[in-house]
Structures are given as C-alpha cells and as structure tokens.
Structure 1
Amino acid sequence: MNTYNQNKLHKRLRRLTGEAIADFNMIEEGDRIMVCLSGGKDSYTLLDILINLKISAPVQFELVAVNLDQKQPGFPEHVLPQYLESLGIEYKIVQENTYGIVKEKIPEGKTTCSLCSRLRRGILYRTATELGATKIALGHHRDDILETLFLNMFYGGKLKAMPPKLMNDSGEHIIIRPLAYCKEKDIAKYAEIKQFPIIPCNLCGSQPNLQRQVIKEMLNDWDKKFPGRIETMFRATQNITLSHLCDTNLYDFKGIKKGDIDVNGGDLAFDREDLPPMMGFDASELDDQDLILWKEAN
C-alpha cells in the first residue's frame, strides 16, 4: 500500500472512530479511559487511534492501557510492556492465573471460553475501579457487532447485537466500543502497516468459537459477492421500526384500535417494496478494489 492509501486509511479509521464517539457520547470532559489491550490487531488499533484523537479532541481526557496476563503457557510477557514504554503512556499489566482456574474447573476437551470470559470481565471491572477509570474501552468493531447479531438470531433466538456503549449489570462501569463503525479488513490493513507486535490469540489451546467462525465466513462471502451488503446491514441496526417486528414487550400491539394512526413505519403490509440494490449506501466508503466490484454488481 502506497503512502497516499496509507494516509487515506488512517484518516478513515480516525474519522469513523470520531463519529462513533460523537454519536454515542462515548468520551466526555475529564474522562479517564481504560483501554483494554489484548495484544491483537483490534486493541492495538484502538489505542493508536485514541492516542491520535486525544491530541485534537474538543474535550480533555486521559488514557491508561491495561493488559491482563492470564498466565497462559508461552505468553510473551515482555512484548506489551516494551511497546507501551515506547509510547510513553500510562499502563498497567494485571497478572492473574485465570488459565490455571479454567483448567482446574473445566473438563479436558470442553470449551473454556465462557468461564474464562467471566473471570476476565470481573478482573477488568475491578482494575477499572482501582485505576479510577470512568470508561472501559474495548476493541470490538463493526464486523464483531454484525457477527454477534447473527449469532443471537441463529443460535439464541434473540434480536440482539453488541452495543457501542453500555452500562454493566451492576451499574458501576460504562463500556465503550469506539471502533464500532470500523471495518475489520481496514483494521487488519492498518495493523500490518503499523507493524504492531501482535500476540497470537491461540495460546490457551482452546477450540475456536466455531459458531462465530461460521457467521464470519458467511458475512465474508456476502461481502465478496454483494459489495455494500455489510454496510446496509449495519445501517439496519441503526434504523429500527418496532411496530414492524413482533416483540409485544416493546410495542403495544394489543392496544391497537381502529382509527389509530401509526406514523412509525406506515402501512406497508400489502405493498411490494422495490428497493434499489444499494439503498442508502455511499460508494465513496469503498476502497478502489471494492469499488470496481460494486460497479460490476450494479
């Protein structure tokens, strides 16, 4: 990738991150943001973009990077401290032997992810309190959000995704996902350009999340065959018409009476909707190769 395209990629990630932060009021004056750094491409990119945005942001905020060393065999303990030292930012490495707990509690051959995730979450919440963090930033991106949406639909029977901003169950911590508008393939390119010291994610030896992998492959296949479909699907999560779904807890279907006027969606029950193939899609968001494919498809 030449310098022009590298700069374009950086500006796109920076712009989309800034838009997500503004849309959901993720960062406010005086915030102390705990950035969870796993050693993967997403969290490295998150920290890098937030450091960059901090320079010109309209509000003052602090960043503190946190990594949880779970004592997995082969974990390169020196990598993250060296990298963070080179950035000159505040950081904390939390050492907890969750790997040993998981191995003790979960029978051999069984999936360890659920228990490991709960343990990790509890430790990070505790660390946020100890550090006086007002927000916890995670590196989930647009593709993670869509994958979670389809996972819940296909396997959980829920119309539920991964929100860009939420309060934890206890009401003590606000979790933010500033990369919510960013594409995974853009993040992967950016991480390669920046040469982040990536730590492999398979150190625990557990099986991959096969259900999520199936969803990821499905979305990647759609993205190749129908450029723009992923963007349109993500916009759908921001454009919800409750009166045209089936949740009686969120919409008073029983209360509908003759003569009522519903301005939320209108009466389209018997209409044939002729949607253009890329309704609401801005082709300027595509890179050069994707733009070629999109023009061929349309």
Structure 2
Amino acid sequence: MNQAVTEDRRAKRESDKLAKRLRRQVGQAIEDFKMIEPGDRVMVALSGGKDSYAMLEILRSLQAAAPVDFELFAVNLDQKQPGFPEHVLPDYLRSIDMPFEILEQDTYSVVTRVIPEGKTYCSLCSRLRRGALYTYAAEQGFTKIALGHHMDDMVETLFLNLFHGGRMASMPPKLKSDKGDHVVIRPLAYCREKDLARYATDKAFPIIPCNLCGTQDNLQRVAIKQMLQQWDRLSPGRVETIFKAMGNIALSQLADRSLFDFASLRIDGQEPTTADDRWLVGGSS
C-alpha cells in the first residue's frame, strides 16, 4: 500500500480517537457538574481562539445526540482591537449554520487608556469583556454562559492565586455569579490544552490571534504555564493529578479556620475551656 495513503489513514484514526476522547470528557464534565439541563439556553462565548472553537464544535456534536433538549447560541465580543478581522467569525458561523450575535464594544480604547504602558491588560480586559457578556446574557434570557477554559487554565489559575494571591482558589467548572443572576459553565474542564490544540488543527478552525494581550510576554500566567509544561515533561500526568486534587479537598488537613473548626478539637471526653487571650502576642501576662 502507498506510504502516503497509510500515513493518511493513521492520521485519520488518531484524529477520530482524539475527537471521541474530547467528546467523552466534555460529556462527563457536563454530567458530573450538571452543567446543562433540559430546556437550557446556553450562550457560547466565542473568542476566535482554538479553545472556544473546540468547545462550540463539541457542544454541537453532543447536542445532536444528547438525551435532553437545549439551545446553543454563539456570541462574540468585538473589542475593536486594531486589525481585528471582523468577517472571520460571521463567515465561519454562517458556514456551519450556527445562530450567533456579534457584540461591539470598544474595550480596547478603555484598556489602553487606563493601563500604563508596559503593564498587562489581561485583568481589566477580562472584567470588561465579562461585563458585556453578562449584560447580553441577561437581556436575552440565557440560562447558562459557556466559557472555553480547560484543565490547564484551571490549574494555572490555582498556582497564580497560590503564588501571587495567597489563597487556594481557581476557576470552578460551574459558577454562579456574585449577583446570582448568571450560571457560568466550563465544559472543557476535563480537557487538556495540548489535545484542544491538536483538535483545532485537525478541524482547521479559522483562528484569530489576540493582538492586544498576546504581545505581552512577561505575564505571570506565562511563567506558571512554562512551569507546568516542564513538570508535565518530567512527570507526565502531573497536571491531571493536580486537577484531581482540586476535587479532593481535605479541610481538616489545611489551615482555614473559617471552613474547619480547629479550636474545638480535643481528645474524647475533655471538657471545653474558656478562651484565653494570653497566647496572643501582646496579650496580658
């Protein structure tokens, strides 16, 4: 058999296996966290990056075979970045017969005006983008907002908060907004970034790079990503193990007094005593 034909068939098999694995992982995450329920109207936030394209494609595939009825609607926020190819997403979404809306909000001018030159734009840019998407979701009555964050994003965020924020927190797979009027879901929570990158290549998605944030090289998240990639090379599966630990919390083995009552711990039968502040630095002697 021709060598090229053999290679093409092998590549096709690997591509099919990857697609099935990603669908299985997304379906499992949706089931585990009850992300999508009958009658849900899911707003899929589409950025033009590999992850959100993959999320939309996989959700559409699951929708066609799902045991429940739910609606998918794609939304992109055009932030008016210079050189943004405005035609790419509409052309792609029309080509796959996907209902969509392109929102326009000049957050680029706001971010570049407010953030000093040399500082990172990510935090403010994300807040402005989130606000615009939340507002539109409320106006249109969507019950869920799907974001394209994957396992690597969630583990990176854990270490960002740990190293730079002094707290153990990450992106949860499912989140209710502070005001209680939105539920955010992350269907790619069980998916690895490297798999999504391969999937995007296989599907030839029309990727739109972020020219605002992508040119800023010295981000804390980039350093965390590089650290995790090195760990993954030295010890394959470590990222998955860390993610598993995020769902296997032993509160009594940490030190958060608001979540576990360490003060009342004593041997069986010992009576509680009156609190004594003399242990505090500067207390009475």
Q: Normalising by structure 1, report the TM-score.
A: 0.84
Amino acid at match of 2:247: Q
Counterpart of 2:51 in structure 1 is 42
Matches of 2:121 and 2:169, distance apart in 1: 23
Equivalent residue in structure 1 for 2:35, among 19, 26, 30 = 26
Equivalent residue in structure 2 for 1:112, among 109, 121, 138 = 121
Counterpart of 1:4 in structure 2 is 13
Equivalent residue in structure 2 for 1:73, among 79, 82, 86 = 82
Structure number with bigger Rg: 2
Amino acid at match of 1:143: D
Displacement of 1:205: 6.9
Pair 1:96-2:100 in alignment:
no
Displacement of 1:161: 1.2
Unaligned runs of 5+ in 1: 261-298
Displacement of 1:208: 4.1
Matches of 2:221 and 2:117, distance apart in 1: 22
Unaligned runs of 5+ in 2: 1-9, 270-285
SS at match of 2:231: helix
Residues 46 and 76 in structure 2, CA contact (< 8 A), matched pair in contact too: yes
Amino acid at match of 2:181: E
Displacement of 1:107: 2.9
- Alignment map for 1:88-237 (pairs within 5 Å): 88-203=97-212, 207-208=216-217, 210-237=219-246
Residues 222 and 229 in structure 1, CA contact (< 8 A), matched pair in contact too: yes
Task: Report the number of matched residues.
Answer: 260
Structure 1 residues 241 and 120: CA distance shift in structure 2, 3 A: same
Moved more, 100-109 or 81-90: 100-109
Amino acid at match of 1:39: G
Displacement of 1:130: 2.0
The superposition leaves residues 17-55 of structure 1 with CA deviations (integer Å, 9 ceiling, x where unpaired) of 000000000000000000000000000000000000001
| Structure 1 residue runs of 4 or more that deviate by more than 3 Å after TM superposition | 203-206
Counterpart of 1:246 in structure 2 is 255
Coordinate RMSD, CA, aligned: 1.4
Amino acid at match of 2:73: V
Matches of 2:250 and 2:121, distance apart in 1: 38
Displacement of 1:131: 2.0
Moved more, 141-150 or 224-233: 224-233
Displacement of 1:206: 5.6
Amino acid at match of 2:210: C
Residues 72 and 204 in structure 1, CA contact (< 8 A), matched pair in contact too: no
SS at match of 2:102: strand
Matches of 2:149 and 2:209, distance apart in 1: 17
Matches of 1:35 and 1:259, distance apart in 2: 53
**Identity of matched residues, %:** 62
Displacement of 1:146: 0.4
SS at match of 1:35: strand
Matches of 1:148 and 1:80, distance apart in 2: 28
Q: Normalising by structure 2, report the TM-score.
A: 0.88
The superposition leaves residues 53-98 of structure 1 with CA deviations (integer Å, 9 ceiling, x where unpaired) of 0011111000000000000000000000000001111100001111
Displacement of 1:112: 2.2
Displacement of 1:209: 5.8
- Alignment map for 1:58-69 (pairs within 5 Å): 58-69=67-78
